[in-house]
Amino acid sequence: MKFADLKKEGHWPTLFSAFLYFDFSFMMWTMLGPLATEIGESLSSRGFTMSDDQQATLLAIPVLAGAILRLVLGIFVDKIGPKKTAVAAQIIVIATLFLAYMSAESITYNQLLVVALGLGFAGASFAVALPQAGQWYPPRLQGTVLGIAGAGNIGVVIDFLFAPKIAELWGWPSVFLVGGVLSLIVLIAYMFMAKDAPANVYKPNPKKLGDYLKLMRDRDTWWFNLFYAVSFGGFIGFANYMKVYLMNTYQADMSAFGSDIMNESNVKVVAGYFGALCIFAGAMLRPVGGAVADKMGGVKSLYVFFSMIVVFSSLSAFITLPFWAAILVMFLIMANLGMANGAVFQLVPQRFGKDIGVMTGLIGMAGGLGGTALIKTFGWSQGAFDGYTAGFLIFATMVIVALSGISLVKTRWRTTWGAASGAKI
């Protein structure tokens, strides 16, 4: 399939605006990650020093809030439509950003937790953008379409590229101001471009609360929750914690590299560049994962992607890697996580096509919970053992559990709903 074919079916402006909305929402959702060091230094100058666990909690709150709110917004997508839901969520995020900017100079740790909670609405955009795009297109294009819409997670790359540099030039509070202005511009563009799919296309009918509870009792819901908790949870967890991980492990290497090669003396900015490089792989390859799954089947694709993640995570756990090798390994971990995200969402619409709104919320919530667990696990690993071996081992173990789950369900899926889906499972 050629990407140009997407213009012949569905609604291209909505697909693009869903990507744009998701992209900038991801920027706001993960904003605290690339600013973690700067915020910590600001609090320390005012007499409050964050522990490893407190730092992990601050970074985990937006992910946790986004996870829970994905379920809430997924319900509203079915009730009032994606567009109205998106506009309301964006207004809350914009208000949070401007309030954070105005109070940043005297903000406390507890107040930052409230800001982190508000940014969770940006993370919940996943439950709006994907169904809004997917409702316009037929089942055979779902892997590619949802891969494009989901590639909005490139926003976290932009965060790591520019947030540390903006903070260096104008102070870290200015990042919130820039984010608020950009989000306002995107909101205006979204309101003009995006449309909800008409009922006679692929739009599901609104469901009652009992329908949601019924889906929670479906065992396939929980399998998809597990797979996405690993794939997206791994991606967003590593993305948020990336700068902290690099600063704690390779600060001296990045300082030397930045001074010698980049003419950049601020190691926090250099850490942002390397973090962006790794996150870029996962963000950009999500559509590739969806397209690969369309061609070879979601199950087989997940086997490949998850196996690679186990190998590279185990390598990071058991071997003390030199700086360049560690960056390469993290790059490959993030690449496979991104492709696994696309593969999972090649399968979801085939199994739950008429419930895609609420299922996106449910599975997205599981992904956010997985990311929260990863951030807290790595914060605990650093605090308890002064390193990340335990964190990588625990994550690799969870991926192995997911691989075992795929082996348990693959035959049933391929011979039941997969056989009737019209897509390769």
CATH code for the domain defined by 14-196+215-421:
1.20.1250.20
Cα separation, 263 vs 240, whole angstroms = 26
Contacts with 327 (C-beta within 8 Å, 6 or more apart), sequence order: 274, 277, 278
Give me the tens of pLDDT residue by residue for the chain, a chain 425 residues long.
Answer: 555 666 667 777 888 888 889 889 989 999 999 999 999 999 999 999 999 999 999 999 999 999 899 878 877 887 888 899 999 999 999 999 999 999 998 999 999 999 999 999 998 887 788 788 878 777 667 667 776 776 667 788 999 999 999 999 999 999 999 999 999 999 999 999 988 877 666 555 666 667 678 888 899 999 999 999 999 999 999 999 999 999 999 998 888 877 766 666 688 888 999 999 999 999 888 888 988 998 889 999 999 999 999 999 999 999 989 999 999 999 999 999 999 999 998 898 888 877 776 787 788 889 999 999 999 999 999 999 999 999 999 999 999 999 999 999 999 998 888 787 777 88
Domain ranges of the chain: 14-196+215-421
**Whether the Cβ atoms of residue 346 and residue 131 lie closer than 8 Å to each other:** no
Helix, strand, coil distribution of the chain in percent, nearest 5:
85, 0, 15
Tell me the pTM: 0.88
Q: C-alpha 214: how far from its chain's center?
A: 27
Give me the count of residues in the chain. Answer: 425
- Diameter of the chain measured on Cα atoms: 62
Cα separation, 299 vs 379, whole angstroms = 32
> What backbone torsions phi and psi does residue 182 show, to the nearest 5 degrees?
-65, -40
